[in-house]
């Protein structure tokens, strides 16, 4: 517990020293307005799109001690001069008597004590608001009175975040600021790019009069910027320069004389950083959160959102770290990945054309449909609108412009410019959504395909059901020499980029899963011809897969264009791939015997105490014929690293074969909440899954990176809830078919499904992993594992016995 601890009653993680190995961040707001805040007060915010409407300059590559985005200075009048420090520790780095960053649901609360001054700062985005609030309470802990000034500071970026970094003439020529002073003395300091002055302005303001302001970085730091953020020279003078920047590096700084505080006295300053269409709109908007009661109500509303969000499922098992993840941190991360895709994090910087990923967001949906189905549906509608008429999908899109592109595949002329898997994921997303909600009308909604005419109008639209059918139809035709789906530029593994004509067993299995989902759906819809057709396609692909892909102890992962296998005993590097083994079990293509052997090979050759490696052995040198995977040293990322996203698929496969002990072992070994004791090795936030951990071929085995935005979140949540706890929605009801560790005497859960509440108690008197022997619903015995759909608003008691 070196850097902090879990406070489960408050649903917070409390960081108790600022010197964590890397910045530990949290998310506030949504992409409508929001971003990340770090544990030393820095922020990276945008409105609608981090690439095209970025607000704050945050450069993660700078040292941890540097100023990033936003901070607050306090200035204590002392001995005829000033003592200047930041209650966030960064950037002034003063010695502190107390330092806490409470990482909460949608907020951070910082509590610090420096020089007898206690500061408590809550940072959050009021639900639906276009501003972030910094609610600051400064308390005098000294036994004498003290005079204090508070100076919130923000450093702006050009709205086009990439241009900020690659055009150091145009950008600064356009950046301007203007101050608006209210009769009360309150100042609203606006900032904008000249071209946006009448339609998009950022503003910094507060609820208290400001005696002066500064908007130019050079003047704030002083001496042509040989003054520093650690001690801005402007703060040594009684007042700031009141300079309205006409160009240059724009900041916002407002000097608030908080006055003289008696011992024990507290002052409250509410600062806001927001965006509006123009000065009038900004002033109207800013007025709301100058009222402390409105801020309190907004914070309660944020809390209420999370209460509601988390109320859909609550579990109690014998493992508190499992409960902590499943009940709070993992669902929160699922909502975060749903909101941000892979667009904006400390690692994925939201610059240029990255946008929202088709594959990624289709999977993120799986983690939130039980809690925010309407938001899941809205995201699926966006995704379906970038699917093409041929059934394939654009790889990513910008959510502001809705322009889509082919992702990294554009970087190689000698490779296909589509991904073999993207479009298949949306079939899963939609079908899981239907099972959760019963909203079959969604299938009838018409959504345009992405292909457009010269004027930018869609060439064709189709119902959601038609979109799904085209997705599998694309892959049915897009096959290679073994009758297996082509790889395209890549499948789920973005970095294996083989020559055109290569086949992917991952795509084969994902196609199998999609076909099975569609067959099941068509059965519900009563379309028996379609059911037969999809079952036929499934059987054909299953045969092609089994004929070609078995390697003796495991399944092969790819065939190169010339038929050479990858992921085979025959290879010296990349002999075995995790996804090559888990997915045949998930798809049902692997018969139990081969499935068991394949998963045992994973356990033998790929498992480590820090998680399951993606492949082994790593490639040891750049090879353009294989692609991006060979740019990494062995043990890093997709090159034999522990790529966490692939771990829950092995958990799921193990539960399908009935081994709950192993599924749980795999779950527990990557649970970040269980990493708190070896956090100097792990380095990342213990309250969110990272994307990757260095594998045992790397000297820094165990080091995590790329926290927060990862498919690990939705899939670990799925593995834990639907497969280990075994609570899974179906078209007919809620299936309860656990596969738990044999040592668990059982568990209890409360699950909301289609508006009814299911109180589930599972008992495991004989210490098995799987096998429901009795299922009682409100005392009535039921055959099978599916609890029928109860009327909305009712509560159902479910007793499950394993044996
Ligand atoms: C990254 C990408 C994801 C891909 C994975 C494996 O997480 O966002 O789309 O599947 O890497 O390459």
Locate the ligand 1 atom nearest the alpha carbon of residue 711 and give its number: 7
Over range 125-149, report the average pLDDT: 98
Of the candidates 506, 508, 516, 513, the one whose C-alpha atom is nearest the C-alpha of residue 484 is: 508
Mean pLDDT across the stretch 512-537? 98
Tens-place pLDDT, residues 27-76: 999 999 999 999 999 999 999 999 999 999 999 999 999 999 999 999 99
| CA 92/CA 88 separation, integer angstroms | 9
Contact 508, 559 (CB under 8 A): no
Residue 487 has pLDDT above 80, yes or no: yes
| Mutation pick for ligand 1 pocket among 711, 715, 716 (CB with most ligand atoms within 8 Å) | 711
Distance 354 CA to ligand 1 centre (A): 12
CA of 494, closest atom in ligand 1 = 12
Contact (Cβ atoms closer than 8 angstroms) between residue 602 and residue 582: yes
Output the CA 304–ligand 1 centroid distance in Å: 33
Q: Tell me how far apart the terminal alpha carbons of the chain are, to the nearest angstrom.
A: 39
Q: How many CB atoms lie within 10 A of CB 522?
A: 20
**Residue 739, token pair as written in the block:** 């596969």
Catalytic residue flag (residue 494): yes
| pLDDT over 90 (residue 673) | no
CB 112 within 8 A of CB 40: no
Q: What is the distance between the alpha carbons of residues 424 and 516, in angstroms, rounded to a whole number? A: 12
Taking only Cα atoms into account, the Rg of the chain, rounded to an integer number of angstroms, comes to 28
Count of helix runs (H) and strand runs (E) in the chain:
19, 42
Over 90: is that where the pLDDT of 352 sits?
no
Find out whether the peptide bond into 91 is cis, omega within 30 degrees of 0.
yes
Helix (H), strand (E) at residue 150: strand 146-155
Catalytic residue among 49, 135, 491, 494: 494
Q: 76 with 148: CB under 8 angstroms?
A: yes
Ligand 1, pocket-test mutation among 360, 426, 579, most atoms within 8 A of CB: 360
Identify the pLDDT of residue 675: 81
Q: Which residues line ligand 1 (CB under 6 A)?
A: 342, 357, 359-360, 492-495, 638, 691, 710
Which residue's CA is the nearest one to ligand 1's atom 9?
360
Tell me the pLDDT band of 353, cut-offs 50, 70 and 90.
Answer: confident
Q: How many CA atoms lie within 13 A of 645 on its CB side?
A: 22
DSSP letter at 352?
A: T
Ligand 1: which atom is nearest the Cα of residue 342? 8
What single string gives the DSSP state of each residue in 632-692? Answer: SPTTBTTBTSEEGGGHHHHHHHHHHTT-HHHHHHHHHHT-GGGGGGGHHHH-S-TTS-EEE
| Cα 145 to middle of ligand 1, angstroms | 56
**Could you tell me how many residues make up the chain?**
803
Q: What is the DSSP string of 224-235?
A: GGTS-SSS-GGG
Going from the Cα of 607 to the center of ligand 1, the distance in angstroms, rounded, reads: 20
Which pLDDT belongs to residue 802?
98
Give the strand order in the sheet containing 212-216.
Answer: 81-85, 70-78, 146-155, 250-261, 212-216
Residue 676: pLDDT band with limits 50, 70, 90: confident
Q: Which two tokens stand for residue 664?
A: 């749980």
Residues in contact with 648: Cβ distance below 8 Å, sequence separation at least 6, in sequence order: 667, 712, 715, 716, 718, 719
**pLDDT tens for each residue of 203-242:** 999 999 999 999 999 999 999 999 999 999 999 999 999 9
Question: What global pTM score does this model have?
Answer: 0.97
Percentages (nearest 5) of helix, strand, coil residues in the chain: 30, 30, 40
Q: 759 C-alpha to center of ligand 1: Å?
A: 37
Q: Please state the atom number of ligand 1 nearest to the C-alpha of residue 492.
A: 10
How many Å is the maximal CA-CA distance in the chain? 88
Q: Out of 341, 424, 426, 492, give the residue to mutate to test ligand 1, the one with the largest number of ligand atoms within 8 Å of its CB.
A: 492
Please say whether the beta carbons of 394 and 388 come within 8 A: yes
pLDDT digits over 571-595, tens only? 999 999 999 999 999 999 999 999 9
Looking only at the bridges linking them, the beta strands covering 733-736 and 786-788 are: antiparallel
Share of the chain above pLDDT 90, in %: 98
């Amino acid at each position: 517990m070196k850097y902090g601890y879990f406070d489960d009653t408050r649903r917070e993680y409390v960081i108790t020293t600022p010197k964590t190995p890397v910045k530990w961040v949290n998310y506030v707001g949504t992409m409508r307005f929001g971003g990340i805040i770090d544990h030393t007060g820095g922020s990276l915010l945008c409105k609608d799109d981090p690439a095209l409407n970025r607000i704050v300059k945050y450069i993660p590559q700078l040292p941890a001690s540097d100023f990033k985005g936003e901070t607050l200075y306090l200035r204590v009048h002392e001995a005829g001069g000033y003592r200047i420090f930041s209650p966030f520790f960064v950037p002034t780095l003063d010695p502190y008597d107390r330092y806490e960053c409470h990482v909460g649901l949608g907020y951070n609360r910082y509590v610090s004590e420096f020089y007898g001054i206690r500061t408590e700062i809550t940072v959050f985005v009021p639900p639906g608001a276009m501003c972030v609030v910094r609610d600051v309470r400064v308390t005098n802990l000294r036994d004498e009175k003290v005079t204090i000034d508070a100076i919130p500071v923000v450093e702006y970026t050009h709205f086009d975040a990439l241009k900020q970094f690659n055009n150091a003439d145009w950008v600064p020529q356009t950046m301007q600021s203007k101050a608006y002073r209210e009769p009360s003395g309150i100042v609203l300091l606006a900032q904008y790019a000249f071209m946006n002055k009448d339609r998009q302005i950022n503003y910094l303001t507060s609820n208290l009069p400001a005696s002066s302001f500064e908007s130019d970085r050079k003047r704030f730091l002083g001496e042509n910027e040989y003054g520093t953020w650690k001690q801005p020279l402007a703060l040594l003078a009684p007042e700031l320069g009141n300079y309205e920047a006409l160009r240059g590096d724009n900041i916002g700084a407002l000097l608030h004389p908080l006055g003289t505080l008696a011992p024990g006295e507290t002052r409250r300053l509410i600062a806001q950083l927001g965006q509006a269409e123009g000065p009038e709109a900004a002033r109207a908007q800013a007025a709301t959160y100058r009222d402390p009661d409105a801020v309190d109500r907004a914070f309660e509303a944020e809390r209420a959102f999370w209460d509601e969000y988390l109320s859909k499922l609550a579990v109690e098992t014998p493992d508190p770290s499992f409960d902590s993840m499943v009940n709070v941190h993992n669902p929160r991360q699922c909502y975060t990945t749903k909101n941000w895709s892979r667009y904006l994090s400390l690692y994925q910087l939201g610059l240029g054309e990255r946008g929202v990923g088709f594959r990624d967001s289709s999977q993120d949906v799986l983690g939130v449909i039980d809690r925010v189905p309407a938001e899941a549906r809205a995201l699926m509608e966006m995704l379906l609108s970038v699917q093409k008429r041929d059934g394939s999908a654009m790889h990513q899109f910008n959510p502001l412009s809705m322009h889509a592109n082919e992702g990294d595949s554009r970087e190689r002329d000698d490779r296909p410019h589509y991904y073999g898997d993207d479009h298949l994921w949306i079939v899963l997303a939609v079908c899981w959504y239907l099972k959760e909600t019963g909203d079959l009308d969604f299938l009838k909604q018409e959504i345009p395909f992405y292909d457009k005419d010269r004027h930018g109008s869609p060439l064709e639209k189709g119902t959601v059901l038609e979109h799904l059918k085209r997705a599998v139809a694309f892959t049915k035709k897009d096959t290679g020499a073994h009758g297996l789906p082509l790889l395209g530029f890549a499948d789920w593994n973005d970095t294996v980029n083989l020559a055109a004509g290569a086949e992917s067993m991952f795509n084969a299995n994902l196609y199998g899963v999609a076909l099975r989902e569609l067959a099941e759906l068509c059965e519900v819809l009563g379309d028996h011809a379609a059911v037969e057709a999809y079952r036929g396609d499934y059987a054909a692909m299953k045969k092609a897969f089994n004929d070609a892909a078995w390697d003796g102890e495991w399944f092969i992962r790819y065939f190169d264009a010339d038929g050479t296998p990858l992921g085979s005993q025959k290879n010296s590097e990349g002999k075995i791939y995790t996804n090559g083994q888990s997915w045949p079990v998930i798809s049902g293509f692997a018969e139990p015997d081969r499935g068991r052997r394949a998963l045992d090979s994973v356990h033998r050759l790929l498992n480590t105490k820090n998680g399951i490696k993606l492949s082994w052995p790593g490639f040891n040198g750049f090879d353009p014929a294989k692609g991006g995977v060979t740019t990494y040293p062995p043990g890093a990322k997709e090159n034999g690293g522990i790529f966490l996203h692939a771990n829950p698929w092995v958990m799921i496969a193990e539960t399908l074969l009935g081994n709950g002990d192993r599924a749980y072992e795999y779950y527990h070994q990557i649970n970040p909440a269980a990493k708190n004791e070896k956090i100097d090795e792990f380095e990342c936030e213990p309250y969110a899954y990272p994307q990757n951990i260095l594998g045992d071929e790397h000297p820094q085995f165990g080091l995590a990176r790329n926290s927060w935005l990862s498919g690990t979140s939705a899939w670990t949540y799925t593995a834990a809830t639907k497969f280990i706890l075994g609570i899974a929605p179906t078209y007919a009801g809620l299936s309860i078919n656990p596969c738990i560790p044999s040592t668990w005497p059982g568990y209890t859960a409360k699950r909301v499904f289609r508006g009814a509440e299911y109180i589930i108690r599972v008992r495991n008197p004989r210490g098995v992993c799987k096998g429901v022997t009795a299922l009682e619903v409100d005392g009535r015995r039921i055959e099978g594992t599916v609890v029928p759909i109860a009327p909305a608003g009712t509560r159902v008691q479910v007793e499950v016995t394993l044996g």
